[in-house]
Amino acid sequence: MQTENPEKLSVGEFARQMRGQLIPLGSHFAYFFAGVPAGADDVKEYLADPIMALPPELRAVLPHTSILFVPYLERGAASGSGDSPVEDLICFERPKEEQRIQASRIQTDEGAVLAFSLGGDDVAEYHYRLFHSLARLTADVAEETVQEQFAAIVRDELSAGVHGEVDESSWELKRELIRRQRDLRRKTKGFAKYARQALIDTLTLYLHGICCDIDVETGPRQIASRHLRRRLEFFNSLFPPPEGYAVFPEDVNHANEKKA
């Protein structure tokens, strides 16, 4: 189903208006395509395939999640008072490039809402944004012990002088932490912020790797493979891939045999 509305609406308001039209997808997810064409192949490619690849243990900890596909998203502007939370806007006409964003996420009483702009972007980029959003949701609800265990891995890397990171966001926070903090093992706000982002970026890669055949980006910023492997093994122990899926090369043939 599609809707046509020339006005800009906040993600939250749009989700409230579309609540009765959301289409269930299993017990944890529902979706709605607004103002963009969607056939059976689109639903499979954008929803069924990536959600089917999610580890069952991870799905179990996620809140109910509504996924909205819209033509464009615009970054919300802060109110004058600064008291109200800023919500991004759903647009049916292309916003100015400097205001345009690709994804937005809010939390409501009914669960999480993820909104994605499909205006001119390919499915590979969308898959990355979907798994990144789900990784952020997981970081929000993960047990403290999980966060502490991952932080211990990161702390070991810092102590050993391990260079690089998984993605640009965690790399910038790591560099900032190294510049500002002499004792890198000390629990500070800067360390907690970096460790959380490293968790999100690594979990994004892990989930994306279960679903799709992707290559790890190479370059001077990329963390060495043996350290990345330790992180991925940590998530593999917490959130094993569903039956017939694999992350590590040695497991791929076994997974393909089960799919056949």
In this prediction, residue 130 carries a pLDDT of 96
Q: Please check whether residues 154 and 228 belong to one and the same domain.
A: yes
Structure confidence at residue 182 (pLDDT):
83
Does residue 2 lie within any of the structural domains?
A: no
How many structural domains does the chain have? 2
Instruction: Identify whether residues 49 and 75 lie together within a single domain.
Output: yes
Residue that the structure tokens 């059976």 belong to: 40
- pTM for the full model? 0.89
CA-atom Rg of the chain in angstroms: 19
Same domain, 17 and 63: yes
Residue 49 lies in a domain: yes
Instruction: Name the β-bridge partners of 66.
Output: 30, 113
Same domain (yes/no): 212, 128: no
Structural domain ending residue among the three candidates 105, 122, 141: 141
Specify the pLDDT at position 58: 96
Q: Which residue range forms the structural domain that includes residue 63? A: 9-141
User: For position 220, what pLDDT does the model report?
Assistant: 82
Q: 44-73 burial, b for 16+ CB within 10 Å, e for fewer?
A: eebbbebbebbbeebbebbeebbbbbbbbb
Q: Which helix (H) or strand (E) holds 176?
A: helix 168-180
Please identify, among 141, 164, 190, the residue that sits at the C-terminal boundary of a domain.
141
CB 67 within 8 A of CB 29: yes
The residue from 141, 164, 187 where one domain ends is: 141
Average pLDDT, consecutive stretches of 10 residues, N- to C-terminus, the chain (260 residues):
61 92 92 86 92 95 94 78 72 90 92 88 87 96 93 95 95 94 86 96 96 79 94 96 88 57
> Can you tell me the distance from the alpha carbon of 185 to that of 191, in angstroms, rounded to the nearest whole number?
8
| 76 & 149 share domain | no
Give the pLDDT of residue 259: 52
Q: Are 10 and 90 in contact (CB under 8 A)?
A: yes
